Every structure is written in C-alpha cells, then in structure tokens.
Structure 1
Amino acid sequence: MVKLDVKVDDPERREMVKQLLTMLNTEGFKDAFLEELNDAVDIPMIGEKKEGKIFKKLYEILLKVVENKML
C-alpha cells in the first residue's frame, strides 16, 4: 500500500477540491469520461462489457482516493 500525503490545508484549495469532486460525481461527467476512456483504451482479451465494469471500478477508486487523501 502506498502512503500518500496530499492533504489540502488551504481553505480555498480545499473548496476547489470539493467542487472538483462534485463535478466528478455527476452522472453526465462520469458517463462522458468513461465513454472517452472506453474509446481510447481497448483491451482485446476481454469484452466491452467487462471492460466497462473495470473502467467504472477504476473511476470509483479515483474518486475515493481524491476524497480520502486530499480532504
């Protein structure tokens, strides 16, 4: 497990991170991002459905890390 210390102490920057998380959590942004990611990355050995599940899980992990490590 990687130790990551990127807590944002500055109130203005914390607010910026919160706003970024709000945007990242919208269905519209999530769908657009995952569609772009799916178009850009092809994993030939697995089907599109499984690929989509992997990308969604990675997106959830990204949000969790940003929230838990930066705020």
Structure 2
Amino acid sequence: MLQAKRQRRPRPTHAEDKRRAAAVAAHRREHGDWCPGWRRDPHEASDLTADHVDAVAAGGAESGDLQVLCRSCNSAKGAR
C-alpha cells in the first residue's frame, strides 16, 4: 500500500526540498525546536518538517505557503 501511495505522489524537486529546509531553519531560529501544534497545544519537538498550508493533494499550489509542524502533527494533518 505504501508503495502505491508513493507512485501517486511525485517526489518534491530539489528546489522544493531547499525551500522546505529554509522554512524549518527560519522557524528554528525564531522559535527553537517547538511545534505550534495541529489540533493540539504547542510542544517541544526536534523532528520539525515543512509542508504546504494548502495541501497539493487537495488542490493547493506547489509553490504555496509552507507551515512548520513536527512530523507527528504533519502526519495527523494529512491532506486537510
């Protein structure tokens, strides 16, 4: 099943990877290792990731705004 999901979702480009890394670095400079939380209170988290505010899978633009969440919150958010 995981393999089928990966086949449907194209891998982000190198430029997109760099943009996401820059968003996480900027967040860490300003807030440290804190996740703002998604449907839960802000919390300490060292596994921060950046993803689209409006999920591309739900019709958002690939160049759209990014938000930084921990991996757990980002996974819970999914394509919402």
Q: Same fold (TM over 0.5)?
A: no
Normalising by structure 2, what TM-score? 0.32
Normalising by structure 1, what TM-score? 0.35
Whose helix proportion is higher, 1 or 2?
1
Whose strand proportion is higher, 1 or 2?
2
